[in-house]
């Protein structure tokens, strides 16, 4: 890579991370839950003050992201900022890790410019932060494996073993893809690097596969906990049609917003990709080991994408979230020319990335303004630390985003010292922290899985006795006169959110049918 292209590469990599600081609270659906987990782990670390939770060391397969965030939170004193710093590293590492993989394969490193824009994918919008963080780790690990197959060393083998364990404890989905690609590369290298007269050279396998064993042991240890299914039975598995999976791949790679700005930059990116492919068809076909190894990751990842179920137990979107990883592997095989037919598409990819960051910044600020309003931080400050909060979303959708931004906004209360904010992913077996059942009042009333999407499940008497605050999203008068249970009073509002606190006074002795029987159409709130 020439100094000019190196400079362009680093500008693109850094600019790619800037939208993360467009607003304090990014509109990614599950993000507040990750922030809450980071803060909880920070409090569970020595000297952190404690919290009514326990660490799920055996059940969780993405501890690394939250533990790293917890350490950062202890340094910077803010779980929200710690999470942003983690995402900053991931955004920059995305193209850097692709460049590392390209370099290991002796490919054109300029192609790494294509690796920046896939950071803003649908998985990020849903808030699958550990999975997104696992993508660059996968590429770094595979780069080391390619080097190990070519020139094995003991130090690199130890590094690969450590990287693969870290990858597993970042996210199992990326780990499975990385493991299968690594095994395929080792087998292909053993076949392609054989000496004349020999059908197979076992050295790449012998020097690579043992380094994968520690992570496989960790994966088997996690799987034996059965955290994806209900206790005592195998997890339920749901699949979507093959054609539907194919159609969703480009959407989950770049289609983050309902507007057409991201689609414009996606078309620019894919056009640049197609130009390089078309221009490469005029060149002599590549031969030898490098070309085959370069194609293998895409082929293996595509097969895994098509074979993976949509849902296994409590874990969903398992296949479609792999789309950006498959796309990144597709760029590895690109061969840009040195003339204008190589430089123009590379420039287009850089422009598309800058355009996507501008679109993301604009949309994130608009969604934040419309949903959270200007006083959301003040609303959070109204709640006394150490109390319990219920989240009810009667209007969680947004005309700007495909997913439901801020549906877990109440979880940010936990990042400010709150004890409970429910519904929470803490109830999921594979989440990194669980409620500590040994602490009195540490487990909220059971209202069914993901009841944050079903606010009609709230019960005035039982939940009112447990929670100190209720945060409502949407225009809905949750506590009318003579509502059953203990009285609650509105104490703050901002944007689409209204905060209620338990007030003084005797409870009303009324029949408790929940809030939605008073609504004109209860189905509207319980989809």
Confidence at 197, pLDDT banded by 50, 70, 90: low
pLDDT at position 190 is: 77
Which pLDDT band, with edges at 50, 70 and 90, does 519 fall under? Answer: very low
What pLDDT is recorded for position 230?
54
Average pLDDT, the chain: 89
Under 8 Å CB-to-CB from 293, ≥6 apart: which residues?
105, 146, 185, 188, 189, 192
Query: Each residue of 67-105: pLDDT tens digit?
Result: 999 999 999 999 999 999 999 999 999 999 999 999 999
What does the pLDDT look like over 10-40, one tens digit per residue? 999 999 999 999 999 999 999 999 999 999 9
pLDDT of residue 313: 76
Cα–Cα nearest to 26, from 476, 409, 463? 409
**pLDDT score for 422:** 92
Is 75 exposed, middle or buried (CB count within 10 Å of its CB: 0-12, 13-18, 19+)? Answer: exposed
Distance of CA 318 to the CA centre of its chain: 11
User: Is the model more confident about 50 or about 168?
Assistant: 168
pTM for the whole thing? Answer: 0.92
Give the residue among 433, 430, 509 at the shortest CA–CA distance from 59: 430
In sequence order, what are the beta bridge partners of 492?
Answer: 499
Q: List Cβ<8 Å contacts ≥24 apart for 378-382.
A: 378/492, 378/494, 379/492, 379/493, 379/494, 379/497, 379/499, 380/412, 380/413, 380/416, 381/416, 382/491, 382/492, 382/499, 382/501
Whole-angstrom distance, CA of residue 527 vs CA of residue 522:
9
pLDDT of 286-324, one tens digit each? 665 667 788 899 999 999 999 999 988 778 889 999 999
Higher pLDDT: 164 or 281? It is 164
Cβ distance 164 to 214 under 8 Å? Answer: yes
> What is the model's pLDDT at position 196?
55
pLDDT tens digits along 151-195: 888 999 999 999 999 999 999 999 999 999 999 998 888 776 655
Place of tokens 């203990």: 486
Question: In this predicted model, what pLDDT tens digit does every residue of 53-71 receive, in sequence order?
Answer: 999 988 888 899 999 999 9
pLDDT, tens only, 351-376: 999 999 999 999 999 999 999 999 99
Question: Would you state the pLDDT for residue 286?
Answer: 63
The confidence band for 229, taking pLDDT boundaries of 50, 70 and 90, is: low
- Residue 8 φ/ψ region, left for φ over 0, alpha for ψ in the -120 to 50 degree band, beta for the rest: alpha
Q: 522 pLDDT band (50/70/90 cuts)?
A: very low
């Amino acid at each position: 890579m020439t100094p000019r292209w190196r400079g362009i590469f680093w500008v693109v990599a850094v600019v790619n991370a800037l939208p993360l600081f467009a607003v304090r609270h990014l509109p990614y659906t599950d993000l507040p839950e990750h922030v809450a987990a980071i803060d909880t782990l920070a409090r569970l670390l020595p000297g952190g003050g404690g919290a009514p939770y326990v660490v799920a060391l055996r059940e969780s397969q993405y501890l690394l992201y939250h533990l790293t965030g917890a350490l950062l939170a202890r340094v910077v004193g803010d779980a929200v900022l710690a999470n942003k710093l983690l995402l900053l590293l991931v955004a920059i590492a995305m193209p850097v890790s692709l460049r590392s993989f390209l370099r290991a394969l002796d490919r054109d490193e300029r192609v790494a410019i294509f690796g920046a824009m896939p950071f803003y994918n649908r998985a990020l919008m849903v808030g699958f932060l550990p999975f997104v963080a696992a993508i660059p780790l996968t590429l770094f690990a595979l780069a080391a494996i390619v080097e190990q197959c070519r020139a094995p060393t003991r130090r690199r083998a130890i590094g690969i073993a450590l990287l693969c364990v870290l990858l597993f404890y970042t996210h199992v989905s990326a780990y499975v893809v990385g493991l299968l690609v690594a095994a395929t590369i080792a087998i292909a290298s053993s076949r392609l690097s054989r000496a004349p007269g020999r059908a197979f050279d076992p050295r790449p396998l012998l020097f690579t596969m043992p380094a994968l064993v520690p992570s496989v042991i960790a994966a088997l240890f996690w799987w034996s906990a059965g955290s994806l299914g209900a206790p005592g039975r195998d997890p339920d598995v749901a699949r979507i049609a093959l054609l539907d999976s194919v159609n969703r791949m480009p959407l989950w790679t770049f289609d983050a917003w309902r507007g057409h700005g991201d689609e414009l930059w996606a078309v620019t990116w894919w056009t640049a990709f197609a130009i390089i492919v078309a221009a490469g068809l005029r060149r002599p076909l590549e031969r030898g080991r490098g070309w085959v190894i370069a194609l293998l990751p895409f082929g293996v990842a595509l097969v895994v994408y098509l074979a993976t179920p949509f849902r296994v137990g409590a874990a969903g979107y398992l296949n479609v979230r792999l789309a950006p990883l498959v796309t990144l592997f597709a760029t590895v095989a690109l061969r840009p020319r040195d003339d204008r037919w190589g430089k123009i598409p590379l420039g287009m990819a850089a422009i598309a990335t800058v355009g996507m960051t501008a679109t993301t910044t604009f949309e994130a600020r608009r969604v934040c303004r419309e949903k959270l309003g200007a006083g959301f931080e003040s609303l959070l400050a109204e709640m006394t630390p150490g109390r319990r909060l219920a989240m009810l979303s009667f209007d969680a959708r947004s005309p700007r985003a495909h997913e439901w931004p801020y549906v877990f906004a109440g979880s940010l209360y936990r990042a400010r010292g709150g004890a409970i904010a429910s519904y929470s992913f803490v109830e999921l077996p594979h989440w990194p922290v669980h409620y500590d059942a040994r602490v009195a009042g540490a487990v909220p009333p059971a209202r069914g899985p993901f009841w944050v999407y079903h606010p009609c499940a709230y019960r005035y008497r039982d939940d009112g006795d447990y929670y100190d605050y209720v945060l409502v999203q949407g225009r809905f008068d949750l506590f009318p006169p003579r509502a059953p249970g203990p009285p609650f009073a509105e104490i703050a509002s901002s944007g689409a959110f209204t905060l209620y606190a338990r007030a003084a006074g005797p409870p009303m002795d009324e029949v408790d049918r929940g809030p939605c029987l008073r609504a004109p159409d209860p189905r509207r709130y319980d989809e």
